[in-house]
């Protein structure tokens, strides 16, 4: 897993703090079918994924997906967004800008050097999303 695995690495870093605030973490990776048994009607679903856009490597952005049109390229674009949007109360995406999508072991040096900054920014964005939706975090 190369840079496309940045979200897994980030979630490992912030998992404990999120779980202490009753936020469930699921590392789905490629098992999309398991989503359908996890998501409940009142859930706020926040996907964290690697993306390639016009941003700089290590940049972290949060937004609501523009279904079915999406201007960013995510590593896992095959998510059935329209089905998930009908299942969950809200959907957000946190995208982490990566250098490249390649089959290799480990993150690129730029991402590895900034992994804790990226993790903290991701944690901040998750907390901010939930706070703005009046969820106690």
User: pLDDT by residue (tens digit) across 111-130?
Assistant: 999 999 999 999 999 999 99
Q: Please, where are the H alpha helices in 39-114?
A: 81-87, 109-113
| Tokens representing residue 5 in the block | 């695995």
pLDDT at 71: 47
Q: DSSP E strands: which ranges in the chain?
A: 44-52, 60-63, 73-74, 90-97
Distance CA 34, CA 96 (A): 23
Q: Tell me if 8 sits within 8 A of 27, measured CB to CB.
A: yes
Domain 3-132 has CATH 2.40.40.20: no
Distance CA 22, CA 113 (A): 29
Domain boundaries, the chain: 3-132
Report residue 4's pLDDT band, with 50, 70 and 90 as the boundaries.
confident
What is the average per-residue pLDDT within 102-117? 90
Of 1-10, 17-26, 30-39, 64-73, least confident by mean pLDDT is 64-73
Distance CA 44, CA 23 (A): 10
* Residue 78 per-residue DSSP state: T
């Amino acid at each position: 897993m190369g840079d496309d695995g940045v979200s897994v690495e980030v979630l490992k870093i912030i998992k404990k703090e999120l779980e202490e605030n009753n936020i469930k973490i699921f590392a789905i990776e490629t098992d999309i079918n398991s989503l359908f048994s996890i998501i409940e009607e009142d859930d706020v679903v926040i996907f964290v994924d690697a993306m390639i856009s016009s941003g700089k490597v290590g940049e972290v952005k949060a937004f609501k997906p523009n279904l079915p049109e999406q201007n960013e390229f995510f590593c896992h674009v095959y998510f059935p967004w329209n089905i998930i949007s009908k299942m969950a109360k809200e959907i957000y995406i946190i995208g982490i800008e990566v250098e490249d999508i390649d089959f290799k072991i480990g993150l690129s040096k730029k991402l590895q050097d900034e992994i804790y900054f990226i993790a903290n920014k991701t944690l901040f964005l998750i907390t901010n999303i939930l706070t703005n939706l009046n969820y106690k975090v």
